[in-house]
Amino acid sequence: MEGGDHLAHERNKAEFDVNEMKIVWAGSRHAFEVSNRMSRLVASDPVFDKSNRAVMTRKELFKNTLRKSAHAWKLINELRLSDEESVIFKYFMDQPGFLDLHWRMFVPAIKGQGTEEQKQKWLPLANKMQIIGCYAQTELGHGSNVQGLETTATFDPQTDQFILHSPTQTSSKWWPGGLGKVSTHAVVYARLITNGKDHGVHGFIVQLRNLDDHSPLPGITIGDIGVKFGNGAYNSMDNGFLMFDKFCIPRDQMLMRLSKVTREGKYVPSDVPRQLMYGTMVSVRQTIVSNASVAMARAACIATRYSAVRRQFGSQNGGIETQVIDYKTQQNRLFPLLASAYAFRFVGEWLKWLYTDVTQRLEASDFATLPEAHACTAGLKSMTTSATSDGIEECRKLCGGHGYLWCSGLPELFAVYVPACTYEGDNVVLQLQVARFLMKTVAQLSSGKAPAGTTAYMGRAKHLLHCHSSIRKAEDWLNPAMVLEAFEARALRMAVSCANNLSKFENQEQGFSELLADLVEAAIAHCQLIVVSKFIAKLEGDIKGKGVKNQLKNLCYIYALHLIHKHLGDFLSTNTITPEQASLANNQLRSLYSQLRPNAVALVDAFDYTDHYLGSVLGRYDGNVYPKLFEEALKDPFNDSVVPDGYHEYIRPFIKQHLRSARL
Amino acid sequence: MEGIDHLADERNKAEFDVDEMKIVWAGSRHAFEVSDRIARLVATDPVFEKSDRARLSRKELFKSTLKKCAHAWKRIIELRLTEEEAGRLRFFVDQPAFVDLHWGMFVPAIKGQGTEEQQEKWLSLANKMQIIGCYAQTELGHGSNVQGLETTATFDPKTDEFVIHSPTQTSSKWWPGGLGKVSTHAVVYARLITDGKDYGVHGFIVQLRSLEDHSPLPNIIVGDIGTKMGNGAYNSMDNGFLMFDQVRIPRDQMLMRLAKVTREGKYVPSDVPKQLMYGTMVYVRQTIVADASNALSRAVCIATRYSAVRRQFGAQNGGIETQVIDYKTQQNRLFPLLASAYAFRFVGEWLKWLYTDVTARLQASDFSTLPEAHACTAGLKSLTTTATADGIEECRKLCGGHGYLWCSGLPELFAVYVPACTYEGDNIVLQLQVARFLMKTVSQLGSGKAPVGTTAYMARAQHLLQCRSGVQKAEDWLNPAVVVEAFEARALRMAVACAKNLSKFENQEQGFSELLAELVEAAIAHCQLIVVSKFIAKLEQDIGGKGVKKQLNNLCYIYALHILHKHLGDFLSTNSITPKQASLANDQLRSLYSQVRPNAVALVDAFNYTDHYLNSVLGRYDGNVYPKLFEEAWKDPLNDSVVPDGYQEYIRPLIKQQLRTARL
């Protein structure tokens, strides 16, 4: 059956131009071509094989990661890949490793927080990887609350050095990727103390290991924090711990762009606006949102193809069974995830624009839009990563029993993905930041200060608090203005209701803490509105290719209407829509599922993922699932012998009934 | 700090008698004592050590599992443990293995489906474990739809044998636990064919391996299906595949209690009522619900203790930070799970009663309550396992970054638990069975046939379709009659709405298939009502011990009101309650959280789990989390050396800029 496309009949059903959709998904023809070329380059290189990851021990897996990293860097140089290409190349390698932290955290930290002089000294070393760096912020006892870090960096004016010290066990750095076994350097965050005064947390460049024999420098204890979630997954990364015992570094290794310590030990803030730091945050979170769409798309691709292969029940008179993708229960769970993948893709695209916009404004010292941009990226990071990790697990369940096999690709994808809910801001903490911003915006509504950007709709509070949805028939739910108004009214009403409840408390902070759960819900409502409105905005753009726009439209309204159904309590309790209108939305949703159904496989083909990248027997492009499941099983070292190791000691004594006298 | 109880403060806050709560949780003083004694027996035996599971290779893990099983059996014999005690011992050993299938599926299948003669012959062998058996039903291409199995058992009248055969690759048995490497025998399900006629799926006892050297018998191909989700977890089990190439077994190895094949090849159904089989199903599902409460309580125990240990934000003037358990966002996610663990415990207890009742009726040939009992256990299995799987992952997230470490215990608990959503009936398929039963019940409402058992409330349709909730203030939500009525009205109205929508279709089956998603929601509403009403019924019993009843009361209403909040759309769209009443329910919920807060740690202590059973550094009884995290980290083989294996080949060439010439 090799070579045959078991999903050809599905692909023939598609009512749109898949190649054009690939361009839309990638963002541009250029982006598509780079991505396509890089993914094939990785897929065709045997060093990057990843199918054996689950059967390796941790040490083997780690060594294999080192090999892949070195090989990748070698190829990047040999092929003279551009920055863009090498980022995508590393992405398709798809194995968490120290390179991620070096390029995405260590280098940007120096770029963002180092002075010109510091950048000149450190970046050439880092760019050639003569030093390998990581980002040592979180501690054993301290995560999201950066201001609570305990590590100290005390300035010693006598030697012109900072003394880095871990005063307690809970102050050990804990979690930084690449720290445990590989990094020679780190940007370490510590409380700056000079002249006996604590100036809060600052970054320092610290050498951790000897560049000749890789041994940790005296005064530094370092190691790996142990096994993490899942097989394979993040176990290829040496997340580490790090303790300092009065370890000295020169004064000029404090990152001094925002503030410096003078030779005399005086703390001097620079005139660089602190807000610049938020620009970096916006950039990092934008990347996370776009990664969310990739991960969700990958899971949806596997589940969709397998749902078209798998058959169950419904056979008439011993005939062929029904494809599980034809069941409404399956569509009802799967298609909203497919729609979410596209929705997150487009909101991620918009975030890229936002980042450009913010950067330009920052350069012109215009900080007006920053709080809104910051809240909006925080909220979208939280919402998309939560939805994606839940979505991956849902896709696994949608694959039935076989989804539980490692070779389905979904257990490892889930294990690799879930930390996104915690890193770069815990998702609940982030929504609370959004909520605070919303409460502030609501409070200022009457002050004449017009809300900006994604909160602009709040300027129409008077209308939105009183409007009634004019939906009368199911098709009205395909009207962008009506859908947007429903989401706007719901979000605004929830925010206003929180603000009203808050005002009942004498102490605002106590009220905030009492109402945390409601505030999170209001923040989520606001973020969902953003995603829906950016998807609708995308549809208003120029979209080429036969049938492409129509497919995107279906996905957009599936995304919006499934949210209405899922959060129906919000919409009804705020009187945004009536139960009858909700029921019409459900009818429309069912009709959209039917329209999507023949296009489902083509819509996941549009992600253009190689079988290598998917890493899933169930999600294979050719749908040849069952024979390949067998092949995978037979490869397990456990099947080397039919009689298992341990038979003589532990099974035979049962059967022969001499367990009593057996020495176990 | 060894020996200090870091959670003593929390324990002193408790307002109830924890020892009495332990009895309530266990079900009886006797059950508590057995469980307590056996848990400690396992915990103190070094052979049952499990903290190294994640660091073992699959082969090592499997061998250690064989050792544990042999050792456990030896202890059971030496200590002359009763059946109840032996069951508890296997439970606390807490490592999935072939013995689970031997005792949980193979032996019961023979008991339930074998004739007296067959039982006499096979059970004596199985009970002494002279043969080891498994349950070979699912196939590579066939899961939930048992009637779709492809394996055939064709009677050959010439030799008086059945010929067992796997006609296609998809007909290979696939998944049965214990099959891959250990089982000598299996109950194999295959289509019975005699006289050229297919009589559907029946069970056969088949010997798979030689009892002398354990090699598979001729024409039998057997092996392991490969790595499964997570590290450790179900990888200790040899889930297997099995193919038959015309394997012959004697006729008397067909399980013949329900139907037999005569020497001449005539198929003769016996007069044993088929309904008896449902009794077994009720039993198995009751066990699954009890296991759900165990797994959920285990996760909640870890998350609650760690939430009391972990501090974050909220420090005033450099003082100590706030315990995360004090945040409403944490309580809002954690306490409903704590309440669910108790709720599932009590509904499981009630299911035990139901099983006794059903068995007694079956013996008296009273089958009238069977359909209701069957639907209700199917629904509860689905509801509790789904909520538990999601709840474990939520608990992991509630532990922040450290929950992602294997040694938190939660990744493995999740990986071990999730198959419960699929085995013994896929959770969605089961809810559809419930929905079918509800639709039938609704359609018969006018017929004078009174609905029984958990559907009895439907007889009050006239009232429930019209009634309005009398809730006027938050405290009204603690009134059992008011709460139950709201759940009854919601469940009934959803079922009736589905029935109405169904009636609009000309073809009932097509309507059913179109409305699958709504039907599932109606079924879930019905099942949630059952859980709430059984919890309330529990509170009406005599419950001793200072403050115990008060705590259970709080948990009961937390369970009910959080469901109400989560499914608010249902309650509002059916007009069962008003938005105002919903808001009062939220106020009440917040007040209940405050009341549970000081008792939270004691409420998880009441589960009486040993640290061995929990196997979680974060959930340790003494709360001494941070030093123990370090101890665990040091044990990782990756920390055997400070310079990792692979440094010379793959790191040094990077740093020394010799990658170009390096051979990778």
The three-state secondary structure class of A139 is strand
Task: Nearest by CB to B184, from A142, A639, A655: name it.
Answer: A655
Q: How far apart are CA B500 and CA B439, in angstroms?
A: 10
pLDDT at B633: 96
Residue of B150, B372, B412, B424 marked catalytic: B424
Residue recorded with tokens 């009949």: A9
Residue of A331, A573, A587 to mutate when probing chain B, most B C-beta within 10 A: A573
> How many angstroms separate the CA of residue A59 from the nearest CA in chain B?
6
How many residues does this entry show for chain B? 664
> How many angstroms separate the CA of residue A301 from the nearest CA in chain B?
19
- Asked if residue B485 lies in contact with residue B400, where contact means CB atoms within 8 angstroms, the answer is no
For the record, the structure tokens of A592 come out as 């959209």
Query: What residues have CB less than 8 Å from B332, skipping those under 6 apart?
Result: A516, A517, B593
Residue recorded with tokens 């990094």: A183
Does A58 sit within 8 Å of B636, measured CB to CB?
Answer: yes
For the record, the structure tokens of B463 come out as 């009232």
Four-residue CA torsion sign, B24, B30, B31, B37: positive
Q: How far apart are CA A525 and CA A490, in angstroms?
A: 7
Four-residue CA torsion sign, B166, B169, B175, B177: positive
B131-180 pLDDT, tens digit per residue, is: 999 999 999 999 888 889 999 999 999 999 999 999 999 999 999 999 99
Does the beta carbon of B405 lie under 8 angstroms from any beta carbon of chain A? yes
Q: Which residues of B touch A432 (CB under 8 A)?
A: 329
Task: Nearest by CB to A572, from B227, B426, B569: name it.
Answer: B569
**Which amino acid is it at B470?**
G
Q: How many CB atoms lie within 10 A of CB B160?
A: 15
Q: Is B20 among the residues known to form the active site? A: no
Side-chain half-sphere exposure of B12, counting CA atoms within 13 A: 5
- Asked if residue B616 is part of any domain, the answer here is no
Name which of B76, B100, B92 is nearest B43 in CA terms.
Answer: B92
Does A634 sit within 8 Å of B660, measured CB to CB?
Answer: no
- Asked if residue B607 lies in contact with residue B291, where contact means CB atoms within 8 angstroms, the answer is no
What is the DSSP pairing of strand A197-207 with strand A185-194?
Answer: antiparallel
Q: How far apart are CA A383 and CA A351, in angstroms?
A: 14
Q: Count H helices, E strands: chain B?
A: 24, 11
Closest chain A residue by Cα to residue B655: A130
Residue recorded with tokens 């689950």: A54
Does B579 sit within 8 Å of A574, measured CB to CB?
Answer: yes
Does the beta carbon of B462 lie under 8 angstroms from any beta carbon of chain A? no
**Which amino acid is it at A624?**
N
pLDDT at B1: 45
Does the beta carbon of A664 lie under 8 angstroms from any beta carbon of chain B? yes
Q: How far apart are CA A357 and CA A354, in angstroms?
A: 5
Question: For chain B, what is the domain count?
Answer: 1
Does A654 sit within 8 Å of B70, measured CB to CB?
Answer: yes
Does the beta carbon of A565 lie under 8 angstroms from any beta carbon of chain B? yes
Q: How far apart are CA A14 and CA A547, in angstroms?
A: 9
- Asked if residue B138 is part of any domain, the answer here is yes
Q: What angle do CA A455, A457, A463 make, to 5 degrees?
A: 145
Q: How far apart are CA A309 and CA A324, in angstroms?
A: 8
What is the signed CA dihedral for A143, A372, A381, B404, rounded to 10 degrees?
Answer: 10
The three-state secondary structure class of A185 is strand
Q: What is the CATH number of the domain that holds B211?
A: 2.40.110.10
Show which of residues 199-218 on chain A sit within 8 Å of chain B, judged by CB atoms: 211, 213-216
Continuous H helices in A265-407: 276-309, 328-363, 370-398
Q: Which residues of A touch B569 (CB under 8 A)?
A: 565, 567-569, 571-572, 582
> How many angstroms separate the CA of residue A378 from the nearest CA in chain B?
17
Highest mean pLDDT among A270-274, B449-453, B544-548: B544-548
Backbone dihedral angles phi then psi of residue A133, each to the nearest 5 degrees: -120, 160
- Asked if residue B97 lies in contact with residue B73, where contact means CB atoms within 8 angstroms, the answer is no
pLDDT at A320: 87
Residue recorded with tokens 């018998």: B217
- Asked if residue B342 lies in contact with residue A166, where contact means CB atoms within 8 angstroms, the answer is no
Active site residues of A: 424
In DSSP terms, A250 is beta-bridged to A161
For the record, the structure tokens of B190 come out as 């295959």
Closest chain A residue by Cα to residue B144: A312
Per-state percent for chain A, helix, strand, coil, to nearest 5: 60, 10, 30
- Asked if residue B62 lies in contact with residue B95, where contact means CB atoms within 8 angstroms, the answer is no
Does A144 sit within 8 Å of B312, measured CB to CB?
Answer: yes
pLDDT band at B316 (very low <50, low <70, confident <90, very high): confident
Per-state percent for chain B, helix, strand, coil, to nearest 5: 60, 10, 30
Does the beta carbon of A579 lie under 8 angstroms from any beta carbon of chain B? yes
- Exposure string for A439-473, b = 16+ CB within 10 A, e = fewer: bebbeebeeeeebeebbebbeebeebeeeebebee
Sequence ranges of the domains in chain A: 101-272
Q: How far apart are CA A216 and CA B593, in angstroms?
A: 48
Does B227 sit within 8 Å of A54, measured CB to CB?
Answer: yes
pLDDT at B338: 98
Q: Which residues of B touch A169 (CB under 8 A)?
A: 626-627, 630
Q: Provide the CATH topology of domain A101-272.
A: Butyryl-CoA Dehydrogenase, subunit A; domain 2 (2.40.110)
For the record, the structure tokens of A643 come out as 């009689």
In this prediction the ipTM stands at 0.96
Q: How far apart are CA B38 and CA B92, in angstroms?
A: 8
What integer best gives the mean pLDDT of chain B?
A: 95
Does the beta carbon of B393 lie under 8 angstroms from any beta carbon of chain A? yes
What is the percent of chain B where pLDDT is above 70? Answer: 99
For the record, the structure tokens of A102 come out as 């070096």
Does B630 sit within 8 Å of A327, measured CB to CB?
Answer: no
Does the beta carbon of A148 lie under 8 angstroms from any beta carbon of chain B? yes
Binding site for FAD: residue ranges of A?
138, 177
Q: How many CB atoms lie within 10 A of CB A147?
A: 10
- Asked if residue B240 lies in contact with residue B224, where contact means CB atoms within 8 angstroms, the answer is yes
- Asked if residue A49 lies in contact with residue A632, where contact means CB atoms within 8 angstroms, the answer is no
Does A660 sit within 8 Å of B78, measured CB to CB?
Answer: yes
Instruction: Please list the ranges in chain A whose pLDDT falls under 70.
Output: 1-3, 317-318
Q: How many CB atoms lie within 10 A of CB A74?
A: 18
pLDDT at B2: 57
> How many angstroms separate the CA of residue B231 from the nearest CA in chain A?
5
- Asked if residue B374 lies in contact with residue B397, where contact means CB atoms within 8 angstroms, the answer is no
pLDDT at A408: 98
Listing DSSP states for B209-270 in one string gives B-TTT-PBPTTEEEEE---BSSSSGGGGS--EEEEESSEEEEGGGB--SSEEE-TT--EEE-
The three-state secondary structure class of B203 is strand
B347-374 pLDDT, tens digit per residue, is: 999 999 999 999 999 889 899 889 999 9
> How many angstroms separate the CA of residue B386 from the nearest CA in chain A?
11
Residue recorded with tokens 């939906």: A471
CA B263 to chain centre: 42
| B540 exposure class (CB count in 10 Å sphere: 0-12, 13-18, 19+) | exposed
- Asked if residue B377 lies in contact with residue B350, where contact means CB atoms within 8 angstroms, the answer is no
Does the beta carbon of A517 lie under 8 angstroms from any beta carbon of chain B? yes
pLDDT of B313 over the 90 cut: no
Does B645 sit within 8 Å of A643, measured CB to CB?
Answer: no
Does the beta carbon of B428 lie under 8 angstroms from any beta carbon of chain A? yes
Closest chain A residue by Cα to residue B142: A312
B449-453 average pLDDT score: 89
B60-91 pLDDT, tens digit per residue, is: 999 999 999 999 999 999 999 999 999 999 99
**Which amino acid is it at B413?**
L
CA A579 to chain centre: 35
What is the DSSP pairing of strand A133-136 with strand A185-194?
Answer: parallel
pLDDT at B275: 81
- Asked if residue B175 is part of any domain, the answer here is yes
Q: Which residues of A touch B418 (CB under 8 A)?
A: 397, 404
Side-chain half-sphere exposure of A8, counting CA atoms within 13 A: 4
What is the DSSP pairing of strand A185-194 with strand A152-156?
Answer: parallel
- Asked if residue B174 is part of any domain, the answer here is yes
Name which of B89, B620, B19 is nearest B304 in CA terms.
Answer: B620
Q: How far apart are CA A132 and CA A184, in angstroms?
A: 5
- Exposure string for B443-452, b = 16+ CB within 10 A, e = fewer: eebeeeeebe
Indicate the DSSP class of residue A576: S
What is the signed CA dihedral for B346, B347, B348, B352, rounded to 10 degrees?
Answer: 100
Listing DSSP states for A515-572 in one string gives THHHHHHHHHHHHHHHHHHHHHHHHHS---STTHHHHHHHHHHHHHHHHHHHTHHHHH
Which structural domain, as residue segments, surrounds residue B150? Answer: 131-272
Q: Which residues of A touch B645 (CB under 8 A)?
A: 59, 62-63
Task: Nearest by CB to B55, from A227, A579, A664: name it.
Answer: A227
Distances in Å between the alpha carbon of B191 and those of A440, B159, B260, B359?
68, 19, 13, 29
pLDDT at A2: 53
pLDDT band at B449 (very low <50, low <70, confident <90, very high): confident
Residue of A74, A229, A514, A567 to mutate when probing chain B, most B C-beta within 10 A: A229
